[in-house]
């Protein structure tokens, strides 16, 4: 399995590549060959070394040892610009877009078309429009990036890469923020690029996706290549097993019997701005309540309205008493905590350490006049243990943690506030399967301990696997509340698409 790839058609190849950060080696003599017209999937848990290898291939990092071959000849890139000149483009998981510029300006950033000394706006606009149309997105070239949705930003990233006529396209979890429809468009694009002879390196935590589009699969674990096979020879179970290094039994814990406790949260006629209208639902003690719906159905907005981040109208009762929540502080006082879907933008201070992040929400618990740093350190020790946060050092900047560990830290931070009601928005976005399992287990234990949990998720399996009841939202309204046997993919989709009501009528 570790024999050097004999494939002579390899466009870009990594041979015995190692990479160290300071004294720590994170990549140990890995091999990888990308072939023209093939999709090569690279999978592994967070922190397995996928991102590091992708950065080496695309010129963002240099290998400590080992070599890169381009068309069979050794190369070294001293910058990503050099790699791009050689036709190798990386699409970042975190968008690399200038928020205040327009879509067109972003696509051509750094390599603007000129006529004389002036920008040739007309040509660039036309080309941008063509690329966007090819990707079947609705955004126009003139839209400002700060104003478009997350999935549209992803499309702009892809358009940007396409405009560079990439020979090798490295995609870091491109579908993490896309809806199924958008993902389907992306897959069509990938097929088209394949046909044109582009070599594609693709990472994703969604194994079904990998099984569907990959021609060849490489699995990393702890910085080493542990498996390598043509796609046909590896099913999803084997992929998961290779990644985790052990047999993965059930991803979801055994469902506890539906909660019958008294309602702890009761929401009636709740509206948020012009996005959510007249939503009503109840949450019981010990219950996991799923919120399903299409992207843009208003789920996140509803939750942000509940915790006072957004202006809202309507009645909210916590444990039978009407409360008025105008800020996150009010929400905290009412025992409600919210984990945002946007870990880096809204959840954690990426430039700060774990301690400062952990205690930020519940800082009053650690301070009368002065902050008790020792108590904070103890809390961090407990959190690291309880939530299994894996960090290279305790002083690490949170931005340098892997997505899974960030999510665990965010969970720990939220739980320090000792909420009775926990709202988790996209609990496992961009997280590997091993960590997913841990987080599901945690959510389960939370409910079992008598707290109540709302899970907002776009992953159908998650909603179905976790929830006692499911609220389906559509266009800012509650389209239905499902229980028991109704919690299945078909019913949820019918409600989310607005087909259920029509059939009943």
Partner 1 sequence: MTTDTARTPARAGLRIDFHVWGPVVALLALIALGAWLNPNFLSYGNVTNVLARSAFIGIIAVGMTFVITSGGLDLSVGSMAAFIAGVMILVMNALAPSMGVGWGVILVGMVVALAVGLAAGLVNGLLVTQARIEAFIVTLGTMGIFRSLITWLADGGTLSLGSAVREVYRPVYYSGLFGIAWPIVVFAAVVVLGEIVMRKTPFGRHCAAIGSNEQVARYSAVNVERVRLATYVLLGVLVGIATIMYVPRLGSASSSTGVLWELEAIAAVIIGGTVLKGGFGRVWGTAVGVLILSLIGNILNLADLVSPYLNGAIQGVIIILAVVLQRQKKAER
Compute the distance between CA of residue 137 and CA of residue 413 in angstroms, rounded to an integer: 37
162-182 burial code (b ≥16 CB/10 A, e <16): bbbebbbbbbbbbbbbbeeeb
- Nearer to partner 1 by C-beta: 94 or 235? 94
- Nearer to partner 1 by C-beta: 368 or 502? 368
Please pick, from the candidates 184, 322, 371, 396, the single residue that binds partner 1 as defined by CB under 8 A.
371
Should residue 364 be labelled a site residue for partner 1 when binding is judged by CB under 8 A? yes
Q: Please report which helix (H) or strand (E) contains residue 292, including its range.
A: strand 288-293
Burial of 404 (0-12, 13-18, 19+ CB in 10 A): buried
Please pick, from the candidates 41, 227, 240, 361, the single residue that binds partner 1 as defined by CB under 8 A.
361
Should residue 338 be labelled a site residue for partner 1 when binding is judged by CB under 8 A? yes
Compute the distance between CA of residue 188 and CA of residue 178 in angstroms, rounded to an integer: 14
DSSP per-residue string spanning 408-452: HHHHHHHHHT--SEEEEESTTTT--HHHHHHHHHHHHHHHHTT-E
Should residue 62 be labelled a site residue for partner 1 when binding is judged by CB under 8 A? yes
> Please, are residues 456 and 300 in contact by the beta-carbon 8 Å criterion?
yes
CB of 266 to partner 1, least distance (A): 23
State the Rg of the chain over Cα: 24
- Nearer to partner 1 by C-beta: 158 or 423? 423
Please pick, from the candidates 112, 120, 282, 356, the single residue that binds partner 1 as defined by CB under 8 A.
356
DSSP per-residue string spanning 99-161: TTSBHHHHHTTTS--EETTEE-HHHHHHHHHHHHHHTT----TTSBGGGS-HHHHHHHHHHHH
Compute the distance between CA of residue 438 and CA of residue 435 in angstroms, rounded to an integer: 5
10 Å Cβ neighbour count for 202? Answer: 24
CB of 306 to partner 1, least distance (A): 13
Should residue 417 be labelled a site residue for partner 1 when binding is judged by CB under 8 A? yes
Should residue 324 be labelled a site residue for partner 1 when binding is judged by CB under 8 A? no
Please pick, from the candidates 36, 248, 277, 360, the single residue that binds partner 1 as defined by CB under 8 A.
360
Should residue 352 be labelled a site residue for partner 1 when binding is judged by CB under 8 A? yes
- Candidate ranges 111-119, 222-230, 244-252, 331-339; the one touching partner 1 (CB under 8 A): 331-339
Should residue 348 be labelled a site residue for partner 1 when binding is judged by CB under 8 A? yes
> Please, are residues 334 and 325 in contact by the beta-carbon 8 Å criterion?
yes
| Lookup result for tokens 């078909």 | 490
Compute the distance between CA of residue 328 and CA of residue 200 in angstroms, rounded to an integer: 44
Should residue 128 be labelled a site residue for partner 1 when binding is judged by CB under 8 A? no
- Nearer to partner 1 by C-beta: 60 or 252? 60
CB of 365 to partner 1, least distance (A): 10
- Candidate ranges 103-111, 256-264, 335-343, 484-492; the one touching partner 1 (CB under 8 A): 335-343
CB of 49 to partner 1, least distance (A): 16
For 368, list phi and psi in degrees, rounded to 5.
-95, -80
Please pick, from the candidates 211, 328, 461, 475, the single residue that binds partner 1 as defined by CB under 8 A.
328
- Nearer to partner 1 by C-beta: 421 or 447? 421
Should residue 363 be labelled a site residue for partner 1 when binding is judged by CB under 8 A? yes
Compute the distance between CA of residue 428 and CA of residue 173 in angstroms, rounded to an integer: 13
- Nearer to partner 1 by C-beta: 356 or 459? 356
- Nearer to partner 1 by C-beta: 88 or 210? 88
Should residue 326 be labelled a site residue for partner 1 when binding is judged by CB under 8 A? no
Please pick, from the candidates 181, 329, 382, 394, the single residue that binds partner 1 as defined by CB under 8 A.
329
User: In a 3-state reduction of DSSP, which class is residue 472?
Assistant: strand
- Candidate ranges 91-99, 236-244, 294-302, 358-366; the one touching partner 1 (CB under 8 A): 358-366
> Please, are residues 453 and 422 in contact by the beta-carbon 8 Å criterion?
yes
CB of 406 to partner 1, least distance (A): 12
Residues 14-53 that bind partner 1 (CB under 8 A): 20-23
- Nearer to partner 1 by C-beta: 57 or 242? 57
For 175, list phi and psi in degrees, rounded to 5.
-95, 0
- Nearer to partner 1 by C-beta: 24 or 256? 24
- Nearer to partner 1 by C-beta: 178 or 417? 417
Give the number of residues in contact with partner 1, rule: CB under 8 A: 35
- Nearer to partner 1 by C-beta: 126 or 367? 367
Pairing of strands 65-70, 10-21: antiparallel
Should residue 241 be labelled a site residue for partner 1 when binding is judged by CB under 8 A? no
Q: How far apart are the first and last CA of the chain?
A: 59
Side-chain-facing half-sphere of 122: CA atoms under 13 Å:
1
What secondary structure letter does DSSP report for 343?
I
- The residues of the shown chain that bind partner 1, judged by CB under 8 A, are 20-23, 62, 64, 309, 327-329, 331-332, 338, 340, 342, 345-352, 356, 360-361, 363-364, 367, 369-371, 373, 413, 417
């Amino acid at each position: 399995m570790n024999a050097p790839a004999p494939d002579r058609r390899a466009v870009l190849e990594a041979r015995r590549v190692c990479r160290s950060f300071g004294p720590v080696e994170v990549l140990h003599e890995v091999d990888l060959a990308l072939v023209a017209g093939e999709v090569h999937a690279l999978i592994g848990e967070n922190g397995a070394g996928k991102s590091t290898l992708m950065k080496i291939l695309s010129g963002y990092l240099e290998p400590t040892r080992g070599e890169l071959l381009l068309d069979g000849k050794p190369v070294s890139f001293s910058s990503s610009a050099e790699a791009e000149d050689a036709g190798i483009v990386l699409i970042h998981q975190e968008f690399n877009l200038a928020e205040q510029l327009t879509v067109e300006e972003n696509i051509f950033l750094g390599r603007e078309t000129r006529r004389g000394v002036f920008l040739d706006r007309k040509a660039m606009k036309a080309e941008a429009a063509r690329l966007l149309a090819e990707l079947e997105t609705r955004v126009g070239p003139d839209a400002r990036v700060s104003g478009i949705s997350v999935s549209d930003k992803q499309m702009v990233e892809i358009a940007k890469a396409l405009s560079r006529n990439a020979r090798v396209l490295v995609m870091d979890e491109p579908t993490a923020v896309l809806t199924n429809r958008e993902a389907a468009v992306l897959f069509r694009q990938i097929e088209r690029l394949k046909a044109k002879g582009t070599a594609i390196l693709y990472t994703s935590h969604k194994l079904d996706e990998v099984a569907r589009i990959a021609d060849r699969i490489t699995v990393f674990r702890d910085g080493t290549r542990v498996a390598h096979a043509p796609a046909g020879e590896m099913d999803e179970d084997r992929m998961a097993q290779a990644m985790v290094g052990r047999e993965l039994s059930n991803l979801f814990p055994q469902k506890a019997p539906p909660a019958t406790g008294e309602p702890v949260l009761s929401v009636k006629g709740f509206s948020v701005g012009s996005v959510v209208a007249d939503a009503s639902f109840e949450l019981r003690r010990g219950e996991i309540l799923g919120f399903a719906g299409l992207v843009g159905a208003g789920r996140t907005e509803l939750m942000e309205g509940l915790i006072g981040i957004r202006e809202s109208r309507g009645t909210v009762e916590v444990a039978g008493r009407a409360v008025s929540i105008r800020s996150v502080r009010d929400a905290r006082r009412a025992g409600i905590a919210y984990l945002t879907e946007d870990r880096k933008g809204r959840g954690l201070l990426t430039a700060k350490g774990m301690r400062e992040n952990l205690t930020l929400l519940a800082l009053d618990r650690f301070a009368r006049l002065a902050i008790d740093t020792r108590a904070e350190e103890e809390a961090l020790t407990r959190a690291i243990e309880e939530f299994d946060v894996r960090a290279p050092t305790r002083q690490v900047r949170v931005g340098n943690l892997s997505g899974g560990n960030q999510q665990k830290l965010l969970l720990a931070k939220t739980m320090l506030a000792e909420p009775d009601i926990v709202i988790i928005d996209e609990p496992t976005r961009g997280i590997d399967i091993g960590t997913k399992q841990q987080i599901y287990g945690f959510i389960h234990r939370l409910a079992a301990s008598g707290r109540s949990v709302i899970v907002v998720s776009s992953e159908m399996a998650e909603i179905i696997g976790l929830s006692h009841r499911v609220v389906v939202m559509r266009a800012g309204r509650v389209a239905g509340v499902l229980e028991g046997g109704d919690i299945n993919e078909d019913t949820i989709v019918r409600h989310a698409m607005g087909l259920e009501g029509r059939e009943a009528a």
